[in-house]
A and B are shown apart, each in its own frame.
Chain A
Amino acid sequence: MTTLSEPIRPGAVPDQPADADAPVRGLWRQGLAVFCENRLALVGLGLFVLLAGICFLGPLFYHTDQVHTDLTAVHLAPGEQGHPLGTDGVGYDQLGRLMLGGQTSIIVGLAAGILATAVGTVWGAVAGFAGGWVDSAMMRVVDAMMSIPSLFLFMLLAAIVTPSVSMLIVIIGAFAWLGPARLVRGEALTLRSREYVQAMRGMGGTGGRAVRRHIVPNAIGTVIVNATFQVADAILYVAYLSFLGLGVPPPAANWGGMLSDGLADTYSGHWWLLYPPGIAIILIVLAFNFIGDGMRDAFEVRLRRR
């Protein structure tokens, strides 16, 4: 390791980083190591992969008819007539329906979460960098929208327009961006006054460079972490809306809607219509929250000094 023999100035001490023998690793690799140390984050990641795998790949191996109703086979208990999780009130296979509903929930959740994060990040970043009256005006818009209960707005919108998958994404995205906007604005405000940004200005650098090289790379961690929580929230929003009957219309399905249908059968003892979608919602939301926690640790560079 000591093949380097560059001239070292007299008097100056040739010293190495505290552990010179440690392999040089990139920030992403180090972050990955921290993420992997968090057991719950790995569990969350595993859970998400498992659920997504079942929902998207499952139908390839487990063929069910999720279009035509079969009134001869309604409310079959799990195991009867080759339906491992039974059937619902119109004869759809419950397991196949869970897969189909999961697809909608995951797609809408991911897309809406990403849309909200993207819009919120841009809005908040512009407000934070610009400062002054631009900041005031932009943030008052956010405050105003935040003061209206979002569920109420969702319901209103969903009643006006016909819900479809893409419409759900837009509706949820249109209101979920407020949180990220505030978060990113705060981040931009603090990053702007960091000493390394000042050091760069002392070298004659411009504001554009500050944003490109220093503020965006340092804010990205916060944004990504927040995005995972946004996805979890969006999946819940889909569930809320569908539960209230404002979700995607049949024969399309999602977990919230299935839960709502199942609730009607609570007293008939048809537990297989109630528990599977409910548990699926809990698991996927938990999975995203665990992943988010792990990523927060992974992006915290300071933690790695320990």
Chain B
Amino acid sequence: MSESTVRHAPAAGEPAVVQPLLELRDLDTDIALRRGTVHALDGVSLQVMPGETLGVVGESGSGKTMTALSIMGLLPPGGRVTGGQILFEGRDLRSLSADEVRRIRGVRMGMVFQDPLTSLNPTMRIGVQVGEPLRVHERVGRAEARERTIEILRRVGMPRPERIVDNYPHELSGGMRQRVAIAMALVCSPRLLIADEPTTALDVTTQRQILELIDDLREEFGMAVVLVTHDLGVIAGRADRVAVMYAGRVVETAATEELFRSPRHRYTEALMEALPESAVRESGEHARLYSIPGLPPDLSRPLTGCRFAPRCRHVTDECRTTEVTLSAGEHQHACLHPVPAGSAAPLSRPGPVQVQPVSDPAAPAAGPGEPAAEPVLSVRDLVKNYAAHGRGLLRRTAGQVSAVAGVSFDVGPGETFGLVGESGCGKSTVGRLAVGLERPTAGQILLDGTDLAGLAGRERRRMHRQVQLMFQDSYAAMNPRMRVDAILAEPLEIQKVGGPAARRARIATLLDQVGLSRRVLERYPHEFSGGQLQRIGLARSLALQPRLIVGDEPVSALDVSIQAQVLNLMRDLQRELGLAYVFISHDLSVVDYMADRIGVMYLGKLVEVGPARDVVRAARHPYTQALIDAVPSVTPNAATERDGVTIRGELPSALNPPTGCRFRTRCPLAQDICETEPPLAGDAHQVACHFPLRPESTAASARAGAAA
């Protein structure tokens, strides 16, 4: 099932005998907003052959979703296709009557959206929803619709479809809901499936299952797929051809393997270098990420020349003034100074700009890997249970949700401890407990050797100076009615640090540290982009000069190029200020890049703790291995090298967790002994498993193995 080798486009290479299933010609789409008209798409041309998977990749605002919505006629209010053609099976959808278009879109095309919860109607039973297109477009009877619904649900891999048809969406998990959404798109056997970020809202292990499902169904139904995503890794393993979009235009299109081996457009090249994965891969030490400076252009203003020019490191005056069109041939690109064809693989090329000597391992205090003698944060047997209330007047406690169940780890000064796991594993709860936002049910949190639980009043307030939280969504974490100067001054006011003048000086220093100009002080949070907000958030966290910052998914909401800027900044500050980080993320490649040591959590327990390189490259716990295997990689044939540990199913409920090893219900290696709980065993690289995949290797040999 998992032989996701890269296929060749069935018809792309041969002479154009086969007519494209879908062809966009110079498509223009405008969206009228209050502040003006945004030219979301500008001359987008794409082709999708029958039976082919076309990946459309780009950052937010690149127009990839608008392309999908334009095809489906689902543009938001104010949105309108203003020019070009949408040819589907040779007929222009824009010139057909509304009724015909509706039938084509309803029967011949299917669409899967990002969030399976909001794309399903919560008040309709699954069966009725999935069968709705049949009833509308094929006018079949109720009984037949139900039968065909059960059949299609079975084909998308739903267990017990006869029962699921009578359930409501909220009774299903995220992965199951996405399967329902796919079934709904496929029920009329469309020729074309458009999947807009189908797995972005899902965990990696679920993501892998869904992507494989789409692959299998494509072959089974003989349909074409347009896979829209921001994740280069998702594209690399699944698509036949890729179109890279930037600022409302297609800048490069090529066969997947070709594109990843030798990208031609400078934007594509920069995007790949900005991936944390590539920095880790190319050098043993953690190299500085290449970050694309600046922000994407504002599409409501008139633009001339190459739209990437202001951020490009190879820019010339010609780029700014000349309109560039896609070159001809198989590998098309719109770049005046493309990467020379057939040059060395770009992934192994060091970023030429702004590279500076990388973190010297003996940096602030202790070297990575070995916690210093006196940890900044020490967590001992941490337990957090939430009461699950029953319904009714008295709200009796119906049970305990075990969010964190006996977690212990240390974080040394200047060290980054990465905490990974799927959603619901309790990693965020650990973060909130560590900063004192919640009180543990049992166990100790020692900050510089002092137990948080014993503190009250003034001492507790002073404790907050030592440790600060960094949020995933900085916009939500800032009062929308406060100006940035008030936001940055707030921690100083609360902790009564200095007078007004001293505070202003401190804020100015903070802005310099995070690389923002002083002009931002008079503005409000809604005026900034995600990356800028994350810098302001970081500045606020630093205001009290803490020794530890707990980052809860600090870059998960950001685009790759912006993510690189923030990650670089976090590392620079760590080196300068000797900060320790607890870096919480679901994204293994980011944690691998940032962390010195990694802890893997599963359902409230740490299953594996060890030096980052060892955990990622020589995982000992089957869950860790499955997690690593599920992460889509941009290395085109990485899939073949995988160990093939796949896990099925989804996270069990924390309301009633499995006894013993909590992973045993999904573990391929589970035996009877797994009903007893395995302790976290080992020296530097600990694992809580009765059947670890590998013996603990010495750090040196692991490193040697990884380098080979």
Binding site for B on A (CB under 8 A): 4, 6-20, 24, 27, 37, 194-196, 198-205, 209, 213-214, 217-218, 301-302, 304-306
Contacts and interface: CB of A to CB of B under 8 A. Distances in A.
A17 B435 CA distance: 30
B563 to A, nearest CB: 13
B544 A203 contact: yes
Contacts of A306: 33-35
A199 B471 contact: yes
A202 B528 contact: no
Contact of A202 (B295, B462, B468): B468
B424 interface: no
A298 to B, nearest CB: 13
A143 B679 CA distance: 54
A18 B35 contact: no
A204 B494 contact: yes
Given A4-B519, A195-B477, A202-B435, A18 B527 contact: yes
A177 B531 CA distance: 44
Given A17-B519, A24-B519, A195-B477, 10 more contacts: A11-B288, A12-B565, A12-B572, A13-B294, A13-B565, A17-B527, A196-B476, A205-B490, A213-B482, A217-B481
20 contacts: A6-B508, A7-B512, A11-B356, A13-B291, A13-B293, A13-B294, A15-B515, A15-B531, A15-B532, A17-B519, A20-B519, A202-B464, A203-B464, A203-B544, A204-B464, A204-B495, A205-B490, A213-B479, A217-B479, A217-B482
Top 6 nearest A-B pairs by Cβ distance? A12-B515, A204-B464, A204-B461, A195-B477, A203-B491, A13-B293
B316 to A, nearest CB: 21
Nearest to B569: A12
B526 A195 contact: no
A169 to B, nearest CB: 31
Contacts of B288: 11
A301 B524 contact: yes
Contacts of A9: 512-513, 515, 572
A209 B491 CA distance: 12
A10 to B, nearest CB: 7
A213 B493 CA distance: 12
Interface string B97-112: 0000000000000000
Given A18-B529, A203-B544, A218 B480 contact: yes
Interface string B426-469: 00000000011100000000000000000000001111110011
A74 B137 CA distance: 71
Given A199-B471, A209-B494, A218-B479, A11 B354 contact: yes
A201 B517 contact: no
Nearest to A34: B34
A15 B494 CA distance: 29
Contacts of B356: 10-11
Interface string B530-573: 01100000001000100000000000000000000100110010
Nearest to A19: B298
Contacts of B532: 15, 17
B447 to A, nearest CB: 13
Nearest to A5: B517
A58 to B, nearest CB: 38
Interface string B674-687: 00000000000000
Nearest to B464: A204
B477 A12 contact: no
B295 A15 contact: yes
B514 A4 contact: no
Nearest to B526: A305
Interface string B652-676: 0000000000000000000000000
Contacts of A14: 515-517
A36 to B, nearest CB: 12
Given A195-B471, A202-B435, A203-B490, A16 B478 contact: no
B11 interface: no
A201 B508 CA distance: 24
A213 B529 CA distance: 24
A137 to B, nearest CB: 15
Given A4-B518, A17-B527, A195-B473, A204 B481 contact: no
B522 interface: yes
B691 to A, nearest CB: 40
A9 B478 CA distance: 24
B520 interface: yes
A87 B424 CA distance: 76
B642 interface: no
Interface string B36-79: 00000000000000000000000000000000000000000000
B456 to A, nearest CB: 12
A15 B569 CA distance: 13
A283 B433 CA distance: 56
B479 A11 contact: no
A306 to B, nearest CB: 5
Interface centre among A15, A194, A304 (most CB of B within 10 A): A15
Contacts of A8: 512, 515, 517
A284 B279 CA distance: 66
Contacts of A205: 490, 494
A205 B461 CA distance: 8
Interface centre among B295, B461, B465, B494 (most CB of A within 10 A): B494
A15 B565 CA distance: 11
A160 B518 CA distance: 65
Nearest to A24: B522
Contacts of B481: 27, 217-218, 301
A203 B522 CA distance: 22
B138 to A, nearest CB: 40
Contacts of A209: 494
Nearest to B486: A213
A196 B477 contact: yes
B349 interface: no
B354 A203 contact: no
A18 B494 contact: no
Nearest to A33: B34
B89 to A, nearest CB: 37
A203 B467 CA distance: 9
A295 B364 CA distance: 53
B474 to A, nearest CB: 9
A195 B524 contact: no
A201 B354 CA distance: 38
B298 A18 contact: yes
Given A205-B494, A218-B481, A17 B461 contact: no
B494 A10 contact: no
Interface centre among B356, B435, B479, B532 (most CB of A within 10 A): B479
Nearest to A202: B469
B30 to A, nearest CB: 15
B337 interface: no
A195 B476 CA distance: 6
Nearest to B571: A11
B91 interface: no
A226 B473 CA distance: 30
Given A6-B512, A8-B515, A24-B523, A18 B528 contact: yes
